Amino acid sequence: MSDSQSFEFWIEKGLFVTAIFSIFIILLILCFIFMEGIPAFNDYGFLQFLSGLDWIPDEGEYGVFSMIVGSVCVTMFSLVIAVPLSVLCGIFMAEVASSKVQGFLKPVIQTLSGIPSVVYGFFGLVVLVPMIRQYFGGTGFSIFTAGIILAIMILPTIISVSFDSLCAVPHEYKEASLGLGATNWQTIRRVIFPAALPGVVTGIILGMGRAIGETLAVIMVAGNVAKIPGSLFDPVRTLTSNIALEMSYATGLHYNALFATAFVLFIIIVLLLLIANYIKSRYKMDIGGGTL
């Protein structure tokens, strides 16, 4: 075996060990969360824990269904706002904007991704909450407010990945489309964007993961009321907020119930990622089969 082959062999084995170690760490964390949450599942009941509407630790009530609904509503609403804006911004930067405009927008978007979540939360608390209270009524702490803040927070992630995916489409695709008489917009809509869509979906998945896992900003603007919302302007408590708010003083079964909440959150994130990846893989199959 030559020196170069030996070097490549050890690099390959090193990368393999790193990958296995990463998986091991994830499994270790999952096992720790599950083991700490087992007492709550055994004592209170897994189905009752999932379907219960009341979270009153002082009375031994540990139902997280309202918080599951709150987490999903806030995340989905943020995606409804962020996905169109992000994708359109990515298309503009990759296919329409001049190099000067592109050079200005990229660092601005990267700066947005580096702003701490507490700053976003403080902005929502000081600016958005009073504004929504004035124009829409209620307290201002709501799904609507939290969704807007989360949408702003996940914009840079989706924009960056969408932009890179659009730029990665071979330039020959565009030249061939224009050569056949298509306009620039038709080329973007029917050639470039479909070819980049799997990468765009990846960006949406990453944004969704950050949105459902965000804690501090949501605590500051969502209202933290553990009940099923009746409208976008009702306050909610998310699973992550519940853990962060109560972990510092929880003891006994209450402590175990918070770990059980973390386990439920992990399962929800996995399910959402599986659904998104399934849609992504089906779209790839459609492209390969010539459906488009």
Mean pLDDT across the chain: 87
Element (DSSP H or E) covering residue 81: helix 65-91
- Flag whether 226 is in a domain: yes
Closest-CA residue to 74 (of 159, 155, 141): 141
- Flag whether 214 is in a domain: yes
Instruction: Give the residues across from 61 on adjacent strands.
Output: 56
Per the model's pLDDT, the better-predicted residue between 157 and 273 turns out to be 157
Please report the pLDDT score of residue 291 as a whole number: 47
Q: How confident is the model at residue 132 (pLDDT cuts 50, 70, 90)?
A: very high
Same domain for 185 and 45, yes or no, is no
Tell me which residue has tokens 């992550």: 240
- What is the number of other CB atoms lying within 10 angstroms of the CB of residue 265? 22
Q: How many domains does the chain have?
A: 2
At 226, which CATH number?
Answer: 1.10.3720.10
- Kindly give the residue spans of alpha helices, DSSP state H, lying in 124-249: 129-136, 143-167, 171-179, 184-187, 193-213, 216-221, 239-246
Same domain for 34 and 119, yes or no, is no
Please report the pLDDT score of residue 2 as a whole number: 63
Q: Residue 37: which domain range?
A: 3-49
Same domain for 132 and 249, yes or no, is yes
Please report the pLDDT score of residue 287 as a whole number: 54
- Flag whether 59 is in a domain: no
Residue pair 236/73 in contact by the 8 Å Cβ criterion: yes
- Kindly tell me if the per-residue pLDDT of 147 is higher than 90: yes
Measured CA to CA, the distance from residue 283 to residue 211 in angstroms comes to 24
Same domain for 131 and 255, yes or no, is yes
Same domain for 90 and 198, yes or no, is yes
- Flag whether 25 is in a domain: yes
- Flag whether 54 is in a domain: no
- Flag whether 81 is in a domain: yes
In terms of C-beta density within 10 A (0-12 exposed, 13-18 middle, 19 or more buried), how is residue 226 classed?
Answer: buried
Same domain for 162 and 221, yes or no, is yes
Span 4-61, pLDDT tens digits: 677 787 888 888 888 898 889 988 988 999 899 998 888 888 888 888 888 988 888 8
Please report the pLDDT score of residue 237 as a whole number: 92
Measured CA to CA, the distance from residue 274 to residue 64 in angstroms comes to 22
Q: What is the largest CA-CA distance in the chain?
A: 75
Same domain for 258 and 205, yes or no, is yes
- Flag whether 275 is in a domain: yes
Same domain for 280 and 182, yes or no, is yes
Tell me which residue has tokens 């540990």: 62
- Kindly tell me if the per-residue pLDDT of 290 is higher than 60: no
Same domain for 272 and 221, yes or no, is yes
Same domain for 19 and 126, yes or no, is no
Span 162-198, pLDDT tens digits: 999 998 888 888 888 888 888 888 888 888 988 888 8
Q: Determine the average pLDDT of the residues in 105-120.
A: 87
Please report the pLDDT score of residue 285 as a whole number: 58
Q: Determine the average pLDDT of the residues in 204-214.
A: 87
Same domain for 30 and 69, yes or no, is no
Please report the pLDDT score of residue 292 as a whole number: 45
Closest-CA residue to 38 (of 235, 263, 281): 263
